[in-house]
């Protein structure tokens, strides 16, 4: 049996492995409000399912709470929280955002939680920290329904805010990467606005891509970086191209069951490792037989080449234990 690290490294090189790798991650609501409880919940989840990587999933608000946003837990099946207070109320507020250092209370809490996890996690199990793109954080600060309006009505103000968010993110990633008590194997980088229903390609190229590149630069040499493209009607080809973010991320994850491209078509365009194949709805409402069927279809689309079985985003917190086990049983049955 290969270790998780060996299995993923072989997959990234396009080499044969003992079995198909798998990675399923989820939110831990309520627990994610405390570094200690989030660490304990993450480690417990990994002990039960023994996935090939641990993706640490704090609440999205933790990256912006030091700027003053508020949210609350209301029972979402995805484990996400509803925002109750935004920081950006008018265009001038973008320019007032203070630069945050990694020792800001909530950012420091994220680093502390990672140290707890690393202290108890087998070094042969890769650990990835979630990072939200500067534009995604900007949407949290002003409200997702308001970010496009601000981009189109107050572009210069938004750009100034993005400068502050990007420098804050870059400093946090630097602290993360160079902390010997964390030693992350990669970052899980979430891009959420690269969707045709939200922005034009030109708008993403101005308000998204350059800030993405700057913020993730400190993590460019990590071996297990994973890019998550969130949403529908993605600018997929442009983003995974070498001139986009493709050179920073060997692994690409998107809602392949819900939006183009399919795994099969994406494989024709790219040699990246793909993570996906399972529908979140099926994980939540399906049966173990349904999970096996989707996994078989995903394997057929990729021939198991440079492929990690996973979902397009977080596994619902209401997904049955048996469905997660069914996914584990499937990869164990695939000998590569």
Walk along the chain (336 residues) and give the pLDDT tens digit of each residue.
999 999 999 999 999 999 999 999 999 999 999 999 999 999 999 999 999 999 999 999 999 999 999 999 999 999 999 999 999 999 999 999 999 999 999 999 999 999 999 999 999 999 999 999 999 999 999 999 999 999 999 999 999 999 999 999 999 999 999 999 999 999 999 999 999 999 999 999 999 999 999 999 999 999 999 999 999 999 999 999 989 999 999 999 999 999 999 999 999 999 999 999 999 999 999 999 999 999 999 999 999 999 999 999 999 999 999 999 999 999 999 876
Task: Say if CB 127 and CB 121 are below 8 A apart.
Answer: yes
Which 8-state DSSP code applies to residue 22?
B
**What is the 3-class SS of 95-112, one letter each residue?**
HHCCCCCCCCHHHHHHHH
CA-CA-CA-CA torsion sign (278, 279, 280, 284): negative
Which residues are bridge partners to 274 per DSSP?
Answer: 252, 307
Instruction: Walk me through the domains of the chain, giving residue ranges and CATH numbers.
Output: 23-263 (3.20.20.210)
| Residues contacting 204, CB < 8 A, separation 6+ | 193, 194, 235
Task: Say if CB 11 and CB 302 are below 8 A apart.
Answer: no
Instruction: Please give the C-alpha separations between residue 119 and each of 43, 68, 122, 137, in angstroms, as whole numbers.
Output: 10, 31, 8, 29
First-to-last alpha carbon distance for the chain, in angstroms, is 12
Beta strand 127-132 with 54-56: parallel, antiparallel or unpaired?
parallel
Q: Virtual CA dihedral for 187, 188, 190, 196, nearest 10 degrees? A: 110
Beta strand 82-85 with 70-72: parallel, antiparallel or unpaired?
antiparallel
| 3-class secondary structure, 66 | helix
In this prediction, residue 335 carries a pLDDT of 74
Which residues are bridge partners to 132 per DSSP?
Answer: 190
pTM surpassing 0.95?
Answer: yes
Nearest to 282 by CA among 267, 266, 260, 298: 298
67 class by beta-carbon count within 10 Å (0-12 exposed, 13-18 middle, 19+ buried): buried
Nearest to 22 by CA among 268, 330, 321, 238: 330
In this prediction, residue 336 carries a pLDDT of 64
CA distance linking residue 119 with residue 286, whole number of Å: 36
Task: Say if CB 229 and CB 313 are below 8 A apart.
Answer: no
CA distance linking residue 43 with residue 253, whole number of Å: 23
Instruction: Please give the C-alpha separations between residue 330 and each of 16, 117, 252, 297, 312, in angstroms, as whole numbers.
Output: 17, 28, 21, 12, 18
Which 8-state DSSP code applies to residue 299?
H
| 3-class secondary structure, 151 | helix
191 class by beta-carbon count within 10 Å (0-12 exposed, 13-18 middle, 19+ buried): buried
Report the alpha-carbon angle 305-333-6, nearest 5: 55
> How many other β-carbons are positioned within 10 Å of the β-carbon of residue 232?
13
CA distance linking residue 209 with residue 199, whole number of Å: 12
Task: Say if CB 267 and CB 275 are below 8 A apart.
Answer: no
178 class by beta-carbon count within 10 Å (0-12 exposed, 13-18 middle, 19+ buried): exposed
Task: Say if CB 25 and CB 278 are below 8 A apart.
Answer: no
């Amino acid at each position: 049996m290969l270790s998780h690290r060996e299995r993923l490294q072989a997959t990234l090189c396009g080499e044969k492995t003992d079995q198909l790798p798998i990675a399923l991650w989820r939110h831990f609501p309520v627990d994610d409000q405390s570094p200690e409880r989030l660490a304990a919940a993450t480690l417990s989840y990994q002990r039960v399912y023994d996935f090939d990587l641990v993706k640490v999933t704090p609440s999205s608000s933790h990256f912006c709470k030091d700027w003053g946003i508020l949210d609350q837990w209301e029972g979402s099946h995805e484990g996400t929280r509803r925002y109750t207070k935004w920081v950006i109320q008018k265009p001038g507020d973008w320019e007032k955002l203070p630069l945050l250092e990694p020792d800001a209370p909530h950012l420091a809490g994220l680093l502390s939680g990672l140290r707890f996890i690393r202290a108890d996690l087998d070094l042969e199990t890769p650990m990835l920290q979630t990072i939200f793109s500067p534009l995604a954080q900007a949407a949290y600060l002003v409200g997702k329904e308001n970010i496009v309006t601000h981009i189109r009505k107050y572009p210069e103000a938004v750009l100034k805010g993005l400068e502050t968010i990007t420098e804050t993110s870059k400093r946090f990633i630097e602290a993360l990467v160079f902390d010997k008590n964390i030693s992350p194997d990669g970052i899980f980088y979430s891009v959420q606005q690269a969707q045709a229903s939200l922005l034009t390609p030109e708008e993403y190229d101005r308000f998204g891509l350059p800030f993405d590149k700057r913020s993730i630069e400190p993590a460019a040499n990590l071996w297990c970086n994973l890019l998550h493209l969130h949403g529908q009607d993605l600018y997929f080809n442009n983003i995974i191209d070498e001139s986009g973010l493709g050179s920073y991320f060997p692994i690409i994850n998107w809602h392949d069951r819900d939006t183009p491209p399919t795994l099969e078509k994406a494989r024709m365009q790219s040699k990246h490792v793909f993570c996906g194949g399972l529908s979140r709805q099926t994980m939540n409402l399906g049966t173990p037989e349904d999970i096996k069927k989707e996994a078989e279809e995903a394997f057929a689309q990729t021939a198991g080449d440079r492929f990690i079985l996973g979902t397009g985003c977080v596994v619902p917190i209401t997904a049955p234990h048996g469905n997660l086990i069914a996914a584990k049983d499937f990869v164990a049955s695939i000998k590569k």
